[in-house]
Amino acid sequence: MEVGMTATRRGRPPAGPERWNALVQAAYECLAEGGFERLRMRDVATRVGIDHSSIHHHFPTKQDLVVAVVDHTTRQFWATTPPDGGPVERLRHHLATLRQKISDEPELHIVLRELDLRARRDPELREIIAGRKEGWRNSLRTLLTDAAAAGALAPGVDPATGAELVIATVKGASLAAEHAGDVLELLDHLLIRA
């Protein structure tokens, strides 16, 4: 069952893994709608249709719930790199998918910003987020290293720095989603040899 299901077909609150996923999705929605100020365990439980004391069986602390939201959010970026195809095709597909995510899923970027802002004040969360983002960073480095080996990277582009550029550009573009398509298209031209 995917994160996002908040009730069963019969209208009863989900149970087991479905409940865990529903709680993560509800917390994600609370963050997207009102930031950390709106993320309350009681509100998350209410959205799923369970008593607030039941949420603690799945997430003993609010921080545990936040970590689950971090995992859910960062996994969405790892999945944007196709495993097959040549390096240029994979890189272009990745950038196009990121462009589409910014356009189609604004709540994803709102949640990312909320998590990043909170991490600046919360060392434990900062460490957790850094660890999760390392997966995306490594995926980008590998993708850019493969493109460099194929002679497809623009002159002067180092794969490690290029990965940081992609991450920073995606974060920045998500702040102005109406320009994200143009910005990420330009990034494609900056990274890939014409």
Average pLDDT, the chain: 87
pLDDT score at 48:
95
* 86 and 53 in a common domain: no
* 88 and 45 in a common domain: no
Task: Specify the number of domains making up the chain.
Answer: 2
CATH of the domain at 26: 1.10.10
SS (H, E, C) 87-109: HHHHHHHHHHHHHHHHHHCHHHH
- pTM above threshold 0.85: no
- Mean predicted confidence (pLDDT) in 95-123: 90
* 27 and 84 in a common domain: no
| Residue that finishes a domain, picked among 41, 60, 79 | 60
* Predicted confidence (pLDDT) at residue 192 exceeds the cutoff of 60: yes
Q: Which residues pair with 153 in a beta bridge?
A: 192
How far is the C-alpha of 63 from the C-alpha of 41, rounded, in Å?
10
* Predicted confidence (pLDDT) at residue 182 exceeds the cutoff of 50: yes
| Local structure of residue 24 (DSSP, 8 states) | H
Return the number of other C-beta atoms located less than 10 Å from residue 67's C-beta.
18
Pair 124, 70: CB distance under 8 Å: no
- Mean predicted confidence (pLDDT) in 153-174: 92
Q: Identify the domain containing residue 19 by its residue range.
A: 1-60
84 pLDDT tier (thresholds 50, 70, 90): confident
